Amino acid sequence: MATAPKEAENAIDLEEIHTERQEPPKGQKTFTVEEAVETIGFGRFHIVLFLIMGSTGVAEAMEIMLIAVVSPLIRCEWQLQDWQVALVTTMVFFGYMVFSIVLGFLADRYGRWKILLLSFLWAAYFSLLTSFAPSYIWFVFLRAMVGGGVSGHAQGLIIKTEFLPTKYRGYMLPLSQVFWLAGSLLIIGLASVVNPTVGWRWLIRIASIPGILLILMFKFIPESARYNVSTGNVAAALATLQRIAKMNGAAMPEGVLKEPTKERRGKFKDLIHPKYLRTTLQIWIIW
């Protein structure tokens, strides 16, 4: 008799699992996120996405190129040697390298949007702290933390790529580099005005403004539908795709959104597998 309640409880649990993972009825049409993206096509949503996510390149370029226009000033202020000036740039990219790996894993687990937001908050916070650095050691440490935060900005490119129809990726993604160039020109122009007047500390504070403004725009950017589906949150993915279709004035595909077939996750050693080794080496050399 004591086993009856437990059996009933197990039956309820199984029913809930079946409800959450219920397969579409046999013969009913289904579609994937990629098929929905292709059907919806390019439209107003993608233009807004391109401008907001592309602007992450402005913030990223300003933070990275900042060292080039600040180094001569901190050299004089703290009487630095050549290797000490070079170490600043080295540590920025060291932070970029380390945290790009960490944030990449976290993005796969917790979502692209969350890590992108975290990276902007992180970079803006440590960038502002850098402007108050009391010594060279603190300056190097804080800029390394900025590099770590900036590394997460790549999630913006991933979100943009996953929502773009295939035929538009070939020229829309390279076009995003315009924003990086704009950020580089902007920080150089600001430095020519700000450095001689109010100093490098105010230049760093001003350079953090684009990143802070972009944080306010993140509410208009949805989480990756592909990520939501991969984690079983099909309802959220469907809502995102419907929102995109509405903004673009397009129709959704017929049928039910389905989860992709579970595949083995890639591993680092796959990069040096004979099948991919040539491509891997070519990409590494290009970068």
Give the C-alpha separation, 170 to 161, whole Å.
10
- In degrees, to the nearest 5, what angle opens at C-alpha 47 toward C-alphas 110 and 120? 40
How many structural domains comprise the chain?
1
Task: Judge contact between 187 and 210, C-beta under 8 A.
Answer: no
CATH code for the domain of 100: 1.20.1250.20
Confidence of residue 193 (pLDDT cuts 50, 70, 90): very high
Give the C-alpha separation, 82 to 76, whole Å.
11
CA distances from 2 to 6, 7, 8, 251, 274 (A): 8, 9, 11, 54, 59
Task: Judge contact between 60 and 150, C-beta under 8 A.
Answer: yes
CB under 8 Å to 119, separation ≥6 — which residues?
A: 103, 149, 150, 151, 152, 153, 155
3-state secondary structure of 256: strand
What are 196-225's pLDDT values in tens digits? Answer: 999 999 999 999 998 888 888 888 888 988
Confidence of residue 17 (pLDDT cuts 50, 70, 90): very low
- For residue 11, being part of any structural domain is answered with no
Lowest mean pLDDT among 12-16, 194-198, 223-227: 12-16
What are 112-165's pLDDT values in tens digits? Answer: 999 999 999 999 999 999 999 999 999 999 999 999 999 998 888 888 888 999
- For residue 217, being part of any structural domain is answered with yes
- For residue 1, being part of any structural domain is answered with no
3-state secondary structure of 132: coil
- In degrees, to the nearest 5, what angle opens at C-alpha 226 toward C-alphas 63 and 148? 20
Instruction: Tell the residue number behind the tokens 């994937």, with chain if given.
Output: 32
What phi, psi does 31 have (nearest 5°)?
-150, 155
DSSP letter at 30 equals E
- For residue 64, being part of any structural domain is answered with yes
21 or 284, higher pLDDT = 284
Strands 256-257 and 30-31: parallel
- For residue 265, being part of any structural domain is answered with no
Give the C-alpha separation, 35 to 252, whole Å.
10
Give the C-alpha separation, 201 to 209, whole Å.
13
Task: Judge contact between 85 and 75, C-beta under 8 A.
Answer: yes
First to last CA, the chain: 68
Confidence of residue 90 (pLDDT cuts 50, 70, 90): very high
- For residue 164, being part of any structural domain is answered with yes
Mean pLDDT confidence for 42-71: 90
Helices 154-163 and 44-78 cross at an angle (nearest 10°) of 170
Token pair recorded at residue 279? 């491509």
- For residue 220, being part of any structural domain is answered with yes
- For residue 89, being part of any structural domain is answered with yes
Token pair recorded at residue 20? 């959450």
What phi, psi does 95 have (nearest 5°)?
-60, -40
pLDDT(15) > 70: no
CB under 8 Å to 50, separation ≥6 — which residues?
A: 160, 172, 176
**Residue 16 pLDDT:** 39
**Residue 264 pLDDT:** 65
- Its domain, for residue 109, covers 30-256
Q: Choose among 244, 242, 223, 215: nearest CA to 52.
A: 215
